[in-house]
Amino acid sequence: METLQTQTRPGLSGTALKLATCITMLIDHIGASCIEATYGVAYRTPPQILQLDRVLRLIGRLAFPIFCFLLVEGFVHTRDVKKYVRRLFLFALISEVPFDLAFFRTPFDPSAQNVYWTLALGVLAMAGLKHFEKPDGSASWKGLLCAAGCTLAALLACTDYNGIGVFIICALYLTRGDRKRQCIVGALLFLFELTAPLAFVLVWFYNGQRGACSPLQKKAFYWFYPVHLSMLAAVTNLLL
């Protein structure tokens, strides 16, 4: 299957989508950490706080779908898949303690793992699909088996978005040659979250260009996840 050709029409660059993801993710995590992890049981939470949390989480639901799309784009264009996977696993390790402290107020909670694990397994799944693809570019049973294994691993490890996250990443990868179909499939698969399908409106306007992004900015996007979680963990555990 041919990948979608780089477009020249005006639209959102990859850097713009990354910024949108970071902003919506931060909004989401403020609700999940500073409100939900602090107030805990819903019936003890003031109605105004519950309403604020709902608004924050609805906005935040846009983040992960864009993450998945950008991961597919990153995989398709990377020159070194092994380095890409190693980087994701490294940041998964770095982010785990801040993740647990921010959302569960403990340094280690085996019931949930951060989203970098999901993304790393998603890349491994795509690598399997690509390695075993048929001559016409379609998925083979071996590739699908590799993807299924990564999906099962995410489910058993309780990563953020668990197996459905890896499954959606694979679906976006397999439909990458047709932006319209990719957006429709992505939106349908995210129907279990009220506002998440709206993320594919932004994806539709992706212009196929990386956009201005210095090496420092590229590193900043990777570090944003563990750094903002560390800050939220400090607020949740020390101030609230």
pLDDT digits (tens, 9 = 90+) for 98-114: 999 999 999 999 999 99
Read off the pLDDT band of 39 (50, 70, 90).
confident
d(CA 197, CA 193): 8
pLDDT at 40: 64
Q: Answer yes or no: is pLDDT of 34 > 60.
A: yes
- Are the beta carbons of 6 and 208 closer than 8 angstroms? yes
- pLDDT tens per residue across span 169-178: 999 999 999 9
Tell me the two tokens of residue 166: 């890896």
Secondary structure (3-state) at 94: helix
Name the one residue in this structure whose structure tokens are 């477009």: 7
Selection from 96, 84, 181, 66 nearest residue 125 by Cα = 84
Give the CB-side neighbour count of residue 113, counting CA atoms within 13 A: 22
| DSSP conformational letter for 17 | H
Selection from 209, 206, 213, 210 nearest residue 11 by Cα = 206
pLDDT at 6: 45
pLDDT at 67: 97
Mean pLDDT confidence for 215-223? 93
pTM of the model: 0.92
Q: Answer yes or no: is pLDDT of 190 > 50.
A: yes
Tell me the average pLDDT of the chain: 92
Handedness of CA 31, 37, 39, 41 (dihedral sign): positive
Mean pLDDT confidence for 164-173? 98
pLDDT at 37: 77
Which amino acid type is present at position 28? Answer: D
d(CA 29, CA 35): 9
Tell me the two tokens of residue 207: 């212009």
Q: Answer yes or no: is pLDDT of 63 > 60.
A: yes
d(CA 69, CA 53): 26
